[in-house]
Amino acid sequence: LGPSHWLMLRFSGTEPLLRLYCEAPSDARVGEVLAWARQLAEGI
């Protein structure tokens, strides 16, 4: 990630879900970061 990016992963308190949140300079970059985070989460 870069200085203008952030990523947060958190488990839902009410559902069996892992939520992914991201902010980046472009929608394309958000998609890239979320795809990476999803792969990471699926490996847990």
4-30 tens-digit pLDDT: 999 999 999 999 999 999 999 999 999
User: Residue 14: its pLDDT value, please?
Assistant: 96
User: Residue 43: its pLDDT value, please?
Assistant: 87
Q: Where are the beta strands (DSSP E) in 1-44?
A: 6-11, 18-23
Q: Closest Cα to residue 41, out of 27, 14, 22? A: 22
User: Residue 5: its pLDDT value, please?
Assistant: 95
What ranges do the domains of the chain cover? 6-42
Those residues whose C-beta lies under 8 Å from the C-beta of residue 33, and which sit 6 or more positions away, are: 1, 5, 7, 22, 24
Q: What is the pTM of this model?
A: 0.79
Query: Is 37 within 8 Å of 24 (Cβ atoms)?
Result: no
